[in-house]
Amino acid sequence: MSISSTVQNYLERQHIPYHLRHHPYTETAMTSAFAARVPAQRVAKGVVLKDEEGFVMALVPSDRQVNVAAVNHTMNRLLEPATQRDVRLLFRDCEAGAVPSLGIAYNMKMIWDDRLADEQVCYMESGDHSELLEIDKTTFMRLMEHESHGMIAN
């Protein structure tokens, strides 16, 4: 498999330029960074959170962990990690366990860590275990301009 059809269609509809960076099969965003030979702080991993209002994707550098308390404070919500079952249902066009980093393509609210804006290039999970989306800083900022952000990672 390659990039999820939902992510690909979203990027095309929004006229978002990107490149695909192939790497050997990996299970996590951090090991994807290592396999693709890119700095871990440049690889954005998506973590799905939920509450009664619905789902939110927190986007943080792959060498960091989501600080759920910081997300809740910033968004004024009571989010907690989504279950694996929730994730499978949300991302049906993705390989099992491969959460794409673009929740907005799935009509999901997002919040991103401010550290991602420090990088000239951002790599994002694409919905499989062997491709990363490569997006430049200007494009990343345009993609995220209407999404919440803050210091949400430990």
Domain 5-150 fold is: YbaK protein (3.90.960)
pLDDT of 74: 97
Domain boundaries, the chain: 5-150
pLDDT of 97: 86
pLDDT of 149: 97
Based on DSSP, count helices (H) and strands (E) in the chain, helices before strands: 5, 8
- pLDDT, one tens digit per residue, over 19-50 is 999 999 999 999 999 999 999 999 999 999 99
The model's confidence at residue 6, banded by pLDDT at 50, 70 and 90, is: very high
Mean of per-residue pLDDT scores for the chain: 95
> How far is 113 from 116, CA to CA, in rounded Å?
6
> How far is 136 from 153, CA to CA, in rounded Å?
21
At position 18, the amino acid (one-letter code) is Y
Question: Could you give the percent of the chain with pLDDT greater than 90?
Answer: 97
pLDDT of 1: 54
- pLDDT, one tens digit per residue, over 46-93 is 999 999 999 999 999 999 999 999 999 999 999 999 999 999 999 999
> How many C-beta atoms lie closer than 10 Å to residue 93's C-beta?
15
